[in-house]
Amino acid sequence: MASNTLLLAAVFALAGYFVANLSSNDESKILKGWERQLGNPAVHYERITVGLNANVDLIVYGTQLLEKLKVSPGAAKDHTVLSSLEDLQEMFALSHSSCSAAERIMTSPKLFKEIVDAAASLEDKKYYVGGNAALMSQAMVESSPSSQVMLVGAVGETLRSLLNSSVNVPESNLQKDDEVHLILEYSRGEKWGSTTATCANRFIFSHDVANGELRPADNFAATLQSFQPQLVVVSGLHLLDNTEDSFWQPRVDKVISAIATLPKSSAVHLELASIGNLQFLAKLAQRAFSLFHSIGLNEQELLAISKANKGPFHSDELPDGPPEVAVVADVLYWMLNHFGGKLSRVHFHSLTFHVIAEVTGRWNNSFTAVGAAARVAGRRACQVSNIDPEKVRLMFPKAFVRSLLEPSLRRESVILDANAPVMTWQRGNIAFHLSPVLVCRKPLKTVGLGDAISATGLLNSQFIPA
């Protein structure tokens, strides 16, 4: 462990030096570099099914809501579930101070309703499509109008009105009432108590019955059989992390049985979200990961998987914020080899860079896919179709190493070429494709970024059946 700690310290020092010495016009170079390298990405799927979580997001400023609830700033502390306003404050403070997105379940329906009512009374509030499945469906029909997209999820009247009319929903999934998730956003530089947020991000919580019990899984198999999709995306499994094994395992098995009925030519992707219960995550990973062809996740989920399953760096104390490329690449390499089975692709996304790691020969076009996904992050955050280089900033290090655990990759530093920002390297039978992200200086929207990123990466990735 001591050697790993020394290596990490050296890598962080190297990255910090080069981030501080970036050229002021690198943003313009990267935008032009993407145009040259990516061209016009192609979509590879005509029929897509996405499930299983869908809801309405009620978005407010976190500090305003806590003040409305007469909650004062306090300690930052992690909780696997929220049972009180004190728990809520501590989890919000943790997200705010570390600038990390997180999502938790609130156990009390009464308290949750009181908080929703308080949020609805605020002047600054917005209602949006919510839930990974609904957001990815929305992003896919917007990016690929020619694709038929079927959303399998609990869709209430408000959500149906918010969804793009091109998103298809089975009649059996329509219901009168909506499930509501509360999104507590904060801006870069915003203060809460003694801490100042170093980036714009959000904390999400809910008391969600339909999604929390994964009820849409009941008719998932029937929809797959009738629709015959070429691409299937599964999300929402993280909402089961507060349930007993005897409850969640049959629900997950129902999803696994449904995707097992698909032809071998269909690609199946699992989109992860924040999971606080590491025991649940370890069991879920062992039970399900090898049965999906592809997984999408961010830095919290990647390192949680490694910690829960005793993977690389699981016992190291890593600094807050996006981890270094070498750490990410080593964990991705371990994931693909450790879980094996059908798993042949992992799309990692963070604030400053994205990586798609894939088993060689199982996917095409990942080079373009990772660049297109990184580019859409800036577009979505700034809410523009074309990125203004003055309104974004490059926070990716100018130099980095590609592994801490593989000596041949550790010994060589890679210099970022802003004119050709998307890069590729190989480690054994695993190919890595990386692109930096241009981070929006004043983001207008942070919710759903990960879903739009994963949707874009999938649409531009071509699955090759074994």
* Catalytic residue IDs: 451
* Alpha-carbon gap, residue 106 to 108, rounded angstroms: 6
Contacts for 261-267: CB closer than 8 Å, 24+ residues apart: 261/221, 261/224, 261/225, 262/224, 262/229, 262/232, 263/228, 264/465, 264/466, 265/230, 265/463, 265/465, 266/229, 266/230, 266/231, 266/232, 267/45, 267/230, 267/231, 267/232, 267/293, 267/294, 267/458, 267/463
SS3 12: helix
CB atoms within 10 A of CB 126: 12
Phi and psi for 146 in degrees, rounded to 5? -80, -15
Q: Enumerate the β-bridge partners of residue 434.
A: 355, 423
Nearest to 28 by CA among 383, 417, 370, 388: 388
How many helices and strands in the chain, by DSSP H and E?
16, 24
Phi and psi for 365 in degrees, rounded to 5? 75, 20
DSSP for residue 174: B
Copy the structure tokens of residue 344.
């042949």
Cite the beta strand spans of 211-275 per DSSP E: 231-235, 267-271
Give the angle 253-254-256 at the CA atoms, nearest 5°.
60
Exposed, middle or buried, 399 (CB in 10 Å: 0-12/13-18/19+)? middle
Residues in contact with 442: Cβ distance below 8 Å, sequence separation at least 6, in sequence order: 188, 382, 391
Q: Enumerate the β-bridge partners of residue 435.
A: 354
Do the Cβ atoms of 432 and 335 come closer than 8 Å? Answer: no
Torsion of CA 61, 452, 137, 463, to 10 degrees: -160
